Amino acid sequence: MRVNNQVMLVTGGTGFFGQRFVRQMLAMGQPRKVIVLSRDELKQWEMRQQLNDDRLRFFLGDIRDVDRLRRAFQEVDVVVHAAALKQVPACEYNPFEAVKTNILGAQNIIEAAIDCGVKCVLALSSDKAVNPVNLYGATKLVHEKLFVDGNAYSGQRQTKFSVVRYGNVVGSRGSVVPLFLERRKTGSIPITDERMTRFWITIEQGITFVSHCLGVMQGGEIFVPKVPSMRIVDLAKALAPECKVELIGIRPGEKLHEVLLHADESRRTLECDEYFVIAPESTVLRLQGWDHGRPLPAGFIYSSDTNQRWLTLEQMSEMVKPFLQATAE
């Protein structure tokens, strides 16, 4: 594992993904030190009480502050960048704030990593970055391009940058599962459109995939996992079969279906057994070490409505069971 005997820093380390990823790295990996960087002192304090590990450090800071990042990145080997503003309505209402965190924050991460000699940076993205229709997706599109092209900025220095792009995480804060569980109490579940589909990934699958990508990244890749799709109406049935469905119409900035890989990207994408690897668009950058990847057919699109893998109602019910149990307690 790439983190063995290394110093790792996780931005947004007190978030939904960050906390669980840090736990997994401490439990399964052999890092010399894991640094949690976030703005939330209360969550850091709570995390410190829950995790009693001498390898764990906490660093208050904001990715908008490049000087603070340079201080935090001293002697760090690996950075996993999970900090972001990701709530679509909040980003639409506060566009400048979304740009400052998701775009300018990405630039700060890149500059601080290069200046401090960080070996590799893996940034987390979203399916919303593909053909974006809302500001959050647009900031994530720029975020991806910054990290891929950050490899050209590093020049002869050792810092490598790659990106992981995946879909909706089951039960993440602000996602549809907590919303449906809350609305379940009213006897009615709001659905924007009966045709709507989404890619679906558990937090455990996301952590496993990020860990794998850390081990194989060479710099410049965008990694896309092969994950199943699900219909939002089926999710509502799995979470609240006794509730009626209320159709409310698609909201501003919302897609009917999500795309993880579009046709223009597929021309420079290699397929592996469990994921896709998108090569850099820049002629300055070249992928190395992916001879085992297979080219995709012309015009290939990886969309949630045409996906070959689908979750059944029984599988969805099993995936959301922990959240139903937590609600019942």
Nearby residues of 10 by Cβ (< 8 Å), 6 or more positions away:
18, 21, 22, 34, 35, 36, 37, 79, 80, 82
Task: Reply yes or no on whether 226 is catalytic.
Answer: no
| Distance (Å, whole) CA 167 – CA 161 | 21
Is residue 69 packed enough to be buried (19+ CB in 10 Å), middle (13-18) or exposed (0-12)? buried
Looking from the CA of 29 toward its CB, the CA atoms found within 13 Å total 26
**CA dist., res. 15 & res. 212, Å (int):** 20
Task: Give Cα separations from 325 to 182, 237, 280, 321, 328 (angstroms).
Answer: 14, 16, 44, 6, 5
Residues 86, 87, 90, CA angle at the centre, nearest 5°? 120
Q: Can you say how many angstroms the Cα of residue 233 is from the centroid of all Cα atoms in its chain? A: 24
Catalytic residue among 86, 100, 128, 185: 128
What burial class does residue 7 get, using C-beta atoms within 10 Å of its C-beta: 0-12 exposed, 13-18 middle, 19+ buried?
A: buried
> 140, 128 in Cβ contact below 8 A?
yes
Measured between alpha carbons, how far is 199 from 194 in angstroms, rounded to an integer?
16
Tokens representing residue 32 in the block: 């010399």
Whole-number Å distance between alpha carbons of 197 and 217: 30
Residues taking part in catalysis: 128
